[in-house]
Structure 1
Amino acid sequence: MTREEIVDIFTATGAMLTGHFRLTSGKHSNRYFQCAQVLQHPRYTERLCHELAQRFAGQGVQTVIGPAMGGILVSYEVARALGVRSLFTERENGKMTLRRNFTITPGEKVLVVEDVITTGGSVAEVIEVVRNLGGQVVGVGVLVDRSNGQANLGLPTEALLTVSVETFTPEDCPLCAQGIPTVKPGSRQV
């Protein structure tokens, strides 16, 4: 898929929002990618995740894992395209963990996926879970990298769409200074 085709999907589904947003990282931004708007359409989800899966084909991936909520559908569709199983992590008492009797065996080759990264914090937590269980993380795949490639996860990372989106600390946010209320559209209400 070309960048233009990917942008067209995000545009057609209304997934690229403008306003004043409070991100999971705690930072503020005037743009937000609501991947759920894309992921509600199976044909788009399949196309995007198939493209992401192809970037890791031939690397011996045995399992794909993503954090709840955003990474669940991405994990499932990428795993389906690769013909492997799909897992997801969840927060329990504020800590990312593997639940529901999911297991990772020592040496198992695992691909970590997510819908959107800004700082890469949630993905880093998933990587830690996998490594603590003895899994070998082969890479990270994301639909949208809002950090413009600046979120360094120390692993091969593939993003379908890499964009530069300005973020601010709440103290330095010009939107806050203008009195514009924030919106927290993501799955984690922090």
Structure 2
Amino acid sequence: MDSENLILRLFDVNAVKFGTFTLKSGIESPVYFDLRVMVSYPDIMDAVADTLFDTAKKSGVEYSVLCGVPYTALPIATLMAVKQKVPMVIRRKEAKSYGTKKMIEGAFQEGEVCLIVEDVVTTGSSVMETAQSLAEVGLKVKDAIVLLDRAQGGADRLRDSGINLYSAFDLPRILEVLHAHGKITDEVVKSVKAFIQENMVNLPQEPAAKKPRREYLGYQARAELCQHPVAKQLFGIMEDKQTNLAFSVDVTTSSQVLELADQVGPYICVLKTHVDILEDFSSTFIQSLQDLAEKHNFLIFEDRKFADIGNTVQHQYSSGMYKISEWSHITNAHSVAGPGIISGLKAVGGAKNRACLLIGQMSSSGNLATGEYTKATVKMAEENSDFVIGFISTSSLTPDPTFIHMTPGVKLSEGKDNLGQQYLTPAEVITNRKSDIIIVGRGIYQASNPAEVARQYQEAGMKAYHQLLEGETDR
């Protein structure tokens, strides 16, 4: 069955419908896809499996294992796996509360490349959630195939997250075929095309001339777009020092912190601290740290991870032993408490030109900062861009060039530790996932020569950055 006849067959079994439909987002759509009905038609399932396999083959996609996005794509991926003799894994919607409690079921090896199979893509969120779950168990995701791309920007959004999307056909192609065969009228075609244009995902909030897409912009150009002084300063440092390296100095004495900061200072744009693990914290230490930040031109980021109600975080940020708002250019917060946490921090840090990062994703295995949580976090950031300058994340979460993404868990070679930390390379983080800053801790401070290793990370990070600017990737 060729693609034209497959489209006609999908229309015949009401997998493609036209009318007025309320989508999950609450938006009214003139077209609806109910592809679950396919499972009742073996000829369609067989054709879909063959079509998606051919799509992957023609696109030159390389993979060793398949994974269908739950639930509609699961039978499609299963049929592909059986027909093509390719191993498959299953991603659960949620982990079991008993037994192995795994999110990913099946046999595989760490480092294998997994191809994601999906039925319909609108925003790409389901594909990204699946990719995140696969990454947490050590599977690599570079590509996804989909039967139908609604052509509303999901492919661009996935590309911004380091995933290439290949579709068997898109919504305009469906309109073309059905119209040519007299299945739909001119008015329906016009209505659906207007809907596509009016409901694109991830459009910039301001005119494109003011906020162009981020992926081709250098640090200097992005600095010029930023309104927040800390974001502007940080991009300026990254350009001037030619570094996208943040050093997480997770040691337990003030003298160790200061010694390491002085050694690696020339190679970093940000020094990330955890002052509550210091055994000898003092105001003298803070003054010395600020002096080193000025000497080597880097920003201080206290990784406090605030996670309480607004009134409480106000006091945690401004008072107590550490008085973080007095000396840290940047801090961060979980969005789990809602927008009140941002308001509380902003009430203290706003007047002092401090900035906040929201934790949109985490690098630890089994974390819950995924899916709808991540989407809600991005929305909070967009609504508070006068204080929030970006995210802690494992990939780019928005194309807005004024937001910065910092990714933890980076090493020169991939792997994980015995506590569930997942490590990614600078090239994977910067070039493929389009994050902005690599955060490195143990890889530097446990080295016999921290300064030399920091230089190596600086060079690796900038090489990846220049590859991104030149349009190169590892795929």
Normalised to the residue count of structure 1, the TM-score between the two structures is 0.73
In the TM superposition, 1:78-97 aligns within 5 A as 78-92=80-94
1:42 matched to 2:42? The reply is yes
Q: Distance in 2 between matches of 1:105 and 1:125?
A: 20
Residue of structure 2 in register with 1:185 after alignment: none
Gaps of 5+ in 2: 96-100, 173-191, 200-475
Structure 1 residue aligned with 2:169, among 157, 161, 164? 161
**Distance apart, 1:8 and its partner CA:** 1.3
Q: 1:37 to 1:162 in 2, by over 3 A?
A: same
- Confirm or deny that 1:115 pairs with 2:119: yes
Give yes or no for contact 2:123–2:153 (8 Å, CA) kept in 1.
Answer: no
- The corresponding residue for 1:125 is 129
The alignment partner of 1:134 has SS state of: coil
Shift of residue 100, structure 1, vs aligned partner: 6.8
**Do the aligned partners of residues 127 and 63 (structure 1) sit closer, same or farther apart at CA in structure 2, a change above 3 Å counting?**
same
Instruction: Give the C-alpha shift of residue 103 in structure 1.
Output: 5.3
Separation (CA, whole Å) in 1 of partners of 2:138 and 2:11? 40
Q: Does 2:81 match 1:73?
A: no
Query: How far apart are the structure 2 equivalents of 1:23 and 1:107?
Result: 37
Alignment of 1:5-84 (within 5 A): 5-57=5-57, 59-84=61-86
SS at match of 1:151: helix
Q: Which whole-Å CA distance do the structure 1 matches of 2:2 and 2:152 have between them?
A: 17
Structure number having the greater helix percentage: 2
Q: State the TM-score, normalizing by the size of structure 2.
A: 0.32
Deviation per CA, 1:9-31, whole angstroms, max 9, x where unpaired? Answer: 21221211123333345543121
Partner of 1:105, secondary structure, is coil
* Cα 1:99/1:66, change in 2 over 3 Å: same
Larger Rg: 2
Question: Any conservation in 2 of the 1:88–1:98 contact (CA below 8 Å)?
Answer: no
Asked whether the equivalents of residues 66 and 74 of structure 1 are also in contact (C-alpha less than 8 Å), the reply is yes
3-state SS, counterpart of residue 21 of structure 2:
strand
Determine whether 1:141 maps to 2:149: no
Report the AA paired with residue 145 of structure 1. Answer: D
- The superposition leaves residues 65-117 of structure 1 with CA deviations (integer Å, 9 ceiling, x where unpaired) of 12221111121122223311223323228xxx953743543211111011111
SS of the residue 1:68 aligns to: coil
Secondary structure in structure 2 of the residue aligned to 1:119: coil
CA contact (8 A) 2:67 2:88 kept: yes
Distance 2:45 2:105 in 1: 27
CA contact (8 A) 2:93 2:103 kept: no
Higher relative contact order (CA 8 A, sep 6+): 1
The answer to which structure has the higher strand fraction is 1
Q: Distance in 2 between matches of 1:9 and 1:16?
A: 9
Aligned pair in 2 of structure 1 residues 137, 20: CA closer, same or farther (>3 Å)? same
The superposition leaves residues 134-156 of structure 1 with CA deviations (integer Å, 9 ceiling, x where unpaired) of 21224111111112565321233
Identical-residue share of aligned pairs (%) = 25
* CA displacement at 1:60 relative to structure 2: 4.2
Q: What letter corresponds to residue 79 of structure 2 in structure 1? A: E
| Whole-angstrom distance in 2 between the partners of 1:163 and 1:130 | 28
Which whole-Å CA distance do the structure 2 matches of 1:40 and 1:98 have between them? Answer: 30
- Compute the RMSD of aligned alpha carbons: 2.7
